Structure 1
Amino acid sequence: MANLLTSDHIQLAYEVAVRVHDRSLTQRQGVECLTREGVGTTYANDLINVYRIMRRGRCYHRAINVPTTVLYLQGIFRDAGEEALGQALTAARLHIQYYEQLRGVTLHRIREAVEHSELLIDHAQGAIAQYRRVLDTQVQVALNDTAAARQARLAKKKKAAPVKFTTTSTYFLRDPDVVAEALHRADGSCEVCQKPAPFKRKSDGTPYLEVHHIVRLSDGGMDDLDNVSVVCPNCHRQAHFG
C-alpha cells in the first residue's frame, strides 16, 4: 500500500498525524480521515504511529516509504524546530538499524534522506553560532569602551521591543552595550549570591558570569539594564529551573 500513496496522501497523513499527536483528533478519527481518501486502514495506523514515535525519538518498526520519510522530517523541522527534528532523526536512524538487521539489506535511499535532513539542523545551528560570534565580538568592543560612552549610547536608545529573527525557533538579538555595562556593573561578582565568578575565561582571563533577563524576552521583557542581572552559572540555572 505504501507504494500507492500519492503526494496528496502523504501531505494529508502528515497533517492528520500532527493533529492526533496534538490530541485535536483521536487515533480512530485520524484513521477514518485517511481511509476516506483511499489509504488502507493498517497503513493509516502506521502513518500516524510513525509520526508519534518520531516525535519521541524512539525506534519505529513499521516501514514508511522515502517520500513520506522526507516530508515528515521536513515538516517536523518546519513546524516544531531543530530539537524536534533531532528526535525524529534519532528515530529514523534507529529504524534503519532495526530494519537493515531484520532484512539483511541496506536502505540507501532512506539513509540519504536522513543525511539530507541533518543538513537542516547544521544550517540552523550555523546561523545561530554565527550570530553568537558576532555578539561576542560586539560585547568585547563595548567592554573595551568607557562606561561613560556605553551609558551615553544607552541613554540615546529608545525603549523598544528587542529585534527577533527566526530559523525554526525565534531568537532575540541582544544589545551588546547592555551586556557589557551589566558585566561592568557586577565587577566580577554574581549579583544574586554576591560571590566572585567561579572561574575566568581562557580566552581573555575575564571573570565568567552570565547576563540573565529577569523577565524573559519571550515573555515581553526588555533588553535593558533594568531587566538584567549578572549571575554565576549556578544562580543562572537556579533562576530558570529552581
Structure 2
Amino acid sequence: MGIAITNQMIEVSYDNAKKVYHKQIELGKALDAIVAATGMGRGSALAYVHDFSQMMQGNEYHRTMNTRATEYFLLNILNDYGKEYFVNALQAAKAHTEYYAKQGKGSLRAIEELVQRLS
C-alpha cells in the first residue's frame, strides 16, 4: 500500500490542478511541484489533477480520490467557481461512484453519501 494522502497533498494538488486547468502551468511541471512540495506519488498527483478537470466538466472520472479529497475538491470548486461548476463536480463524483460499482470493485459508500449530502 502506498503513502497515505495527507491534507497538504490534497490542498497542493487542488491548487496545481487549477493552474493546469487554466493553462497557467504545464502538467509535468505541476506534477513535479506537487511531488516536491508534499512527497505525493506522481501517479496519485496525476489522478488528482485529472479528476479535477473531469469534475469541472461534469465528466465521469476513473481514478479514485479518497473521501476527504473529494469533499475538499467539491467544496473548493463551489467556493472558487460557483454553483454551475459545483453541480458539474457533483455529477462527476456521482458518475465516478457508479463507474466504480459497475467495475465490480464494490461501492464507494462514503463518497456516495457525501454526494447525497451536498446535493
Q: TM-score band (shorter)? A: over 0.9
| Higher RCO (Cα < 8 Å, 6 or more apart) | 2
Matched, 1:49 2:68: no
Q: Aligned partners of 1:51 and 1:106: how far apart in 2?
A: 21
Q: Aligned partners of 2:112 and 2:2: how far apart in 1?
A: 18
Pairwise CA distance, 1:103:
2.4
Q: Which residue of 1 aligns with 2:77?
A: 76
SS in 2 for 1:14: helix
Partner amino acid for 1:59?
A: E
Higher helix residue share = 2
Superimposed CA distance per residue, residues 147-198 of structure 1 (whole angstroms, 9 cap, x where no aligned partner): xxxxxxxxxxxxxxxxxxxxxxxxxxxxxxxxxxxxxxxxxxxxxxxxxxxx
Superimposed CA distance per residue, residues 17-44 of structure 1 (whole angstroms, 9 cap, x where no aligned partner): 1111111111011100111120111111
Q: Which residue of 2 aligns with 1:60?
A: 61
Q: Aligned partners of 1:30 and 1:51: how far apart in 2?
A: 13
Q: Which residue of 2 aligns with 1:33?
A: 33
Q: Aligned partners of 1:22 and 1:9: how far apart in 2?
A: 20
Q: Which residue of 2 aligns with 1:98?
A: 99
Q: Which residue of 2 aligns with 1:129?
A: none
Q: Which residue of 2 aligns with 1:154?
A: none
Q: Aligned partners of 1:35 and 1:85: how far apart in 2?
A: 27
Alpha carbons of structure 1 residues 65 and 107: separation in structure 2 relative to 1, 3 Å: same
Provide the TM-score with structure 2 as the length reference. 0.93
Contact kept? 2:21, 2:53, Cα under 8 Å: yes
Computing the radius of gyration over CA atoms, which structure comes out larger, 1 or 2? 1
Pairwise CA distance, 1:116:
2.0
Contact kept? 2:74, 2:90, Cα under 8 Å: yes
Q: Which runs of 4+ in 1 moved over 6 A?
A: none
Contact kept? 1:96, 1:111, Cα under 8 Å: yes
Alignment of 1:216-231 (within 5 A): none
Higher strand residue share = 1
Pairwise CA distance, 1:85:
0.5
The answer for unaligned runs of 5 or more in structure 2 is none
Partner amino acid for 1:47?
A: Y
SS in 2 for 1:87: helix
Q: Percent sequence identity over matched residues?
A: 27
Pairwise CA distance, 1:108:
1.0
Q: Which residue of 2 aligns with 1:125?
A: none
Q: Aligned partners of 2:30 and 2:100: how far apart in 1?
A: 26
Alpha carbons of structure 1 residues 87 and 2: separation in structure 2 relative to 1, 3 Å: farther
Alpha carbons of structure 1 residues 112 and 3: separation in structure 2 relative to 1, 3 Å: farther
* Number of residue pairs the alignment of both structures matches: 118
Pairwise CA distance, 1:58:
0.7
